Amino acid sequence: MITNQQLFDRAQKFIPGGVNSPVRAFRSVGGTPRFITRGQGPRVWDVEGKEYIDYVCSWGPLLHGHAHPSVIKAVQAVAERGLSFGAPTALEVEFAEKLNQLMPSLEQVRLTSSGTEATMSAIRLARGFTGRSYIVKFEGCYHGHGDALLVKAGSGALTFGQPDSGGVPAELAAQTLVLEYNHIGQVEELFATQGDRIAAVIVEPVAGNMNMVLPKPGFLSRLRELTTAHGALLIFDEVMTGFRVALGGAQSLFGIHPDLTTLGKVIGGGMPLAAFGGRRDVMQYLAPVGPVYQAGTLSGNPVAVTAGLVNLHLAGENGVYDRLGDMTRAVTEGIVDIARTQGFAMSTCSLGGMFGLYFRETLPSNLTQVMESDKLTFNTFFQGMLEEGVYFAPSAFEAGFVSTVHTSVELDQTLTAAERVLKQMR
Ligand SMILES: *Cc1c(COP(=O)(O)O)cnc(C)c1O
């Protein structure tokens, strides 16, 4: 039998770090990444045959778990008719209509193959529409790896951004201004002096790439007011939250109508599918009707769109998000109760099927506070749970996910494991 370690050794010869996306490499927690052979419902199996309850769900896309029979059946049927045509299909039309129906701010939508493409395109569109250059983002929010968005705060709040990755020119990073999440005072101050130079504010309405951070009451609505007042666009990056926290995304929960929205992850249900869309007058700036160029050989791929349609159909069934929210709360609050009984400082938040778990007394509201959580204790907990067959994201700074097919069986097994692990850690 081949082991995870043998595969990881082989992988590192021909793939940088042995992985095709960095966090999969387990660098934050240490140890060997699990090479997965199969997933079914809420569980996955690695090459050594070990079974895990999965709370990563492919980093969010698998709202209905692994290999959902309805999704697989539809994907197989459409694949038999051809994988890609580079010409329009009826499926894309149906999908665009479906997105508009579920998320009414998407008056028009364009499909891409990854969330990165969606955010990158939305930024170019916002700049093209407004004729302005500056982009405002918030520390700890991740918007894919486009150059304009791989930017960190300069020294001191309202300074120009600096590259957060090798290969991003400083001149480009300087066009992105990075503020503290949930700090509306900084946004007001920036708009007061630079308001007429800002093309867009891009924000994760619920931050899901610094563990999970909820927006403070009024934060998002004030962003809406300020952008409107200054003629800048408000972009909600719902690549993670879209159809994950609620059927209409975070924007439906908070009652905010962004100008543009980016989607990914759940809308493809595990296939490479993402989207950006919003106001018709803005979307009309896109080629071929407008001057902003954007394209993709595989955009709107029929197999991916079919998976997306079935996933959204399943998501729209009665009571799905109520049950999902109940299950997510039961798992996370159950773990926190056990931890506190064992003397650990722990806190949790969740919305729909997305959750944050912190080794920290109270919930954080920005990146600095997230970084104050106890990473070493998380790492010990993570390794213990993995040994017990429970697969959390391999980093203290990632959100977790529950699917609609997780049941009380997984709940009980997870809590039993957490009790054993946390007792041993004392
Ligand atoms: C995952 C993610 C992206 C990037 O999507 P990819 O498909 O990985 O390129 C962008 N924004 C947010 C909020 C995400 O969670």
Contact 43, 51 (CB under 8 A): yes
Instruction: Specify the pLDDT at position 176.
Output: 97
Read off the pLDDT of residues 296-309 as tens digits, 9 standing for 90 and up. Answer: 999 999 999 999 99
Structural domain spans, the chain? 4-67+318-425, 69-315
| Centroid of ligand 1 to alpha carbon of 425 (angstroms) | 34
Give the 3-state secondary structure of residue 281: helix
DSSP string, 220-254: HHHHHHHHHHHTPEEEEE-TTTBTTTBTTHHHHHH
Backbone angles phi, psi at 217, to 5 degrees: -55, 130
For ligand 1, mutation pick of 62, 141, 181, 239 (most atoms within 8 Å of CB): 239
Q: Is 237 a catalytic residue?
A: yes
Contact 292, 110 (CB under 8 A): no
Instruction: Specify the pLDDT at position 153.
Output: 83
Instruction: Specify the pLDDT at position 158.
Output: 61
Read off the pLDDT of residues 314-356 as tens digits, 9 standing for 90 and up. Answer: 999 999 999 999 999 999 999 999 999 999 999 999 999 999 9
Q: Determine how β-strand 260-263 pairs with β-strand 233-237.
A: parallel
Q: Is 265 a catalytic residue?
A: yes
Read off the pLDDT of residues 58-101 as tens digits, 9 standing for 90 and up. Answer: 999 999 999 999 999 999 999 999 999 999 999 999 999 999 99
In 55-208, beta strands by DSSP E? 108-112, 134-138, 151-152, 162-163, 176-179, 198-203
Contact 276, 121 (CB under 8 A): yes
Among 265, 321, 358, 391, the active-site one is: 265
114 pocket-lining for ligand 1 (C-beta < 6 Å): yes
CATH top-level class of 4-67+318-425: alpha beta
Read off the pLDDT of residues 209-262 as tens digits, 9 standing for 90 and up. Answer: 999 999 999 999 999 999 999 999 999 999 999 999 999 999 999 999 999 999
116 pocket-lining for ligand 1 (C-beta < 6 Å): yes
User: pLDDT band at 154, cuts 50/70/90?
Assistant: confident
Residue 394: asked if its preceding bond is cis (omega within 30°), the reply is no
215 pocket-lining for ligand 1 (C-beta < 6 Å): no
| Centroid of ligand 1 to alpha carbon of 173 (angstroms) | 19
CATH top-level class of 69-315: alpha beta
